[in-house]
Amino acid sequence: MAEKMDANLDYNNGQKDEAVIDTNRKLRVGIIGTGWIADSHIASYKRMPDVEIVAGCDLIPGKAAAFFKKHGMEGVKTEYASHKEMLDDESLKLDAVSVCTYNRQHAIPSIYALEKGVNVMLEKPFTVTLDEAIEVMKAEKKSGKVLSIGFQPRLDANMQMIKKIVESGELGQVYYIQTGGGRRRGIPTPFGTSFIEDKTAGLGALADIGCYSLDMVLNAIGYPKPLTVTGYKSDFFGKDPNYVGYGAHHEYADVFGVDDFAAAFVRLEGGIILDFRIAWAMNIDTPGDTIILGTKGGLRIPSTDCWNGTVGGPMKIYHEVCGQQTITEIPIINDGGPSLFDRKIRSFLDACKNGTPAPVPSSQIIYNQAILDGIAKSAELGREVEISVPEI
Ligand SMILES: NC(=O)c1ccc[n+]([C@@H]2O[C@H](COP(=O)([O-])OP(=O)(O)OC[C@H]3O[C@@H](n4cnc5c(N)ncnc54)[C@H](O)[C@@H]3O)[C@@H](O)[C@H]2O)c1
């Protein structure tokens, strides 16, 4: 049997192309961690005609069962105390898992799943430390399975336009990038404390939204190797008992154990400078637009506060036409295609089925993680650090 998905996309070049999905072979999927983001994974998997969701687990007893009940899927097996028990259950014949756990539990379940020969859709950020990411990549290589990291914003047509503009040569040789963004008051605590406690999150704004901001520009320029970084982190808002955000008083000052602001100056291979700042909370509306400066043109990407996969408005290219300084506006693109989350899940499933490369490969995101790790280390040491990523 084959089923057509309306307005599906060719994810590599962003062009419309109605995809035919082979439903003869259904992929058996499990969910590890049934918190907030798992809702989006389930919603997307349910829309895929070639997926059977067979199991789910959470460290909190009863949470996975309640999650599937909420989604009207009471037949799904959930009697597991952790990812390990679920992955050890051979009767499930799992093809793939979504790892939807908090940051500090990204590496362990992903490595275990890969060791069991199961494809992994891992939520962002890759991990907390570079060392963990290296271990996950080693397990990926050994397994030969697909590992894709959950960066859905790069599947947005506007994000893809940034890459197209850079690759077209319109900007000439890129030598300086300023990127980042953030919120005036937006420490993410409406769903509990897993984003702000060190034992669960490990890193704060730096990893949570900083990883997206880095991916936007690094993906556009082909992910050059990072060489050195001078980083800074602070937690003035998170630690303030009088902080007010998302309309509620901040009750979590005592448990806040991560950063709410980070900044860095990063040298990349090819002589490119990356100037970065990101905030969950700050006393300004934006730390600035993203700009990419090249020898022939400069690109301005208006900042966005929430990182939901959109650029903040029409982009502008500053260049010269026949000797005249000119500004070309790139209108916002709405390709009318599936949600970014559906694209993320679909492209992962296609890679699992066809044995094709992961849509968001670890070979790129390892450099994203190396920068986050370098910023954290440099901030701690109070000096510049060298970044070294081994060949895996
Ligand atoms: N892509 C996106 O748009 C997006 C949006 C929000 C969050 N996220 C990412 O998703 C991850 C989870 O975020 P969340 O808001 O859902 O967190 P959450 O705290 O609501 O849920 C995480 C769940 O994982 C469970 N868990 C942890 N370790 C486990 C293990 N080893 N086995 C089984 N269950 C385990 C926890 O008990 C918890 O219920 C974070 O890393 C976050 O960065 C991504």
Give the pLDDT of residue 16: 44
The model's confidence at residue 20, banded by pLDDT at 50, 70 and 90, is: confident
User: Quick one: pLDDT at residue 190?
Assistant: 76
Q: How confident is the model at residue 19 (pLDDT cuts 50, 70, 90)?
A: low
Cβ atoms of 136 and 114 within 8 Å: the answer is yes
Among candidates 85, 76, 149, which has minimal Cα distance to 112? 85
The pTM of this model reads: 0.95
Check whether 13 has a pLDDT greater than 50: no
Q: Which pair of structure tokens corresponds to residue 26? A: 């259904």
- 3-state secondary structure (DSSP) of residue 165: helix
Would you place residue 9 in the very low, low, confident or very high pLDDT band (cuts 50, 70, 90)?
very low
Q: Which residue's alpha carbon is at the smallest distance from atom 33 of ligand 1?
A: 58
33-66 pLDDT, tens digit per residue, is 999 999 999 999 999 999 999 999 999 999 999 9
Closest residue to atom 15 of ligand 1, CA basis: 36
How far is the C-alpha of 357 from the C-alpha of 341, rounded, in Å?
A: 19
pLDDT in tens, 213-232: 999 999 999 999 999 999 99
Kindly state the helix (H) or strand (E) to which residue 245 belongs, with its residue range.
strand 244-245
Distance, in Å, from the CA atom of 132 to the CA atom of 140, rounded to the nearest integer, reads: 12
- Which residue has a Cα nearest atom 18 of ligand 1? 35
pLDDT-wise least confident of 54-58, 186-190, 385-389: 186-190
Q: What pLDDT is stored for residue 248 in this prediction?
A: 60
Q: What token pair was written down for 203?
A: 């890193």
Rounded distance from Cα 50 to ligand 1 centre (Å): 25
Of 378 and 307, the structure prediction assigns the larger pLDDT to: 378
Which is nearest to 363 in space by CA: 138, 105, 111?
A: 138
Task: From 31, 32, 37, 112, give the residue whose CB has the most ligand 1 atoms within 8 Å, as the site to mutate.
Answer: 37
- Torsion on CA atoms 63, 79, 90, 123, rounded to nearest 10: 10
List pLDDT tens digits, range 144-153: 999 999 999 9
pLDDT at site 189: 87
**Distance separating alpha carbons of residues 74 and 219, to the nearest angstrom:** 40
Mean pLDDT value of segment 98-110: 98
Closest CA to 120 of 129, 128, 142, 332: 142
For range 294-316, the mean pLDDT: 87
Whether the CB of 123 sits within 6 Å of ligand 1: yes
Q: Which domains does the chain have, with CATH numbers?
A: 2-152+339-358 (3.40.50.720), 154-335+369-386 (3.30.360.10)
* Residue 304: predicted pLDDT: 82
Any atom of ligand 1 within 6 Å of the Cβ of 58: yes
Q: Using a 6 Å cutoff on CB, does residue 56 contact ligand 1?
A: no
Using CB atoms within 10 Å of the CB of residue 353, give its burial: 0 to 12 exposed, 13 to 18 middle, 19+ buried: middle
Whether the CB of 124 sits within 6 Å of ligand 1 = yes
Is 76:110 a contact under the CB 8 Å cutoff?
no
Q: How far is the CA of 356 from the centre of ligand 1 (A)?
A: 27
The whole-number pLDDT of residue 11 equals 46
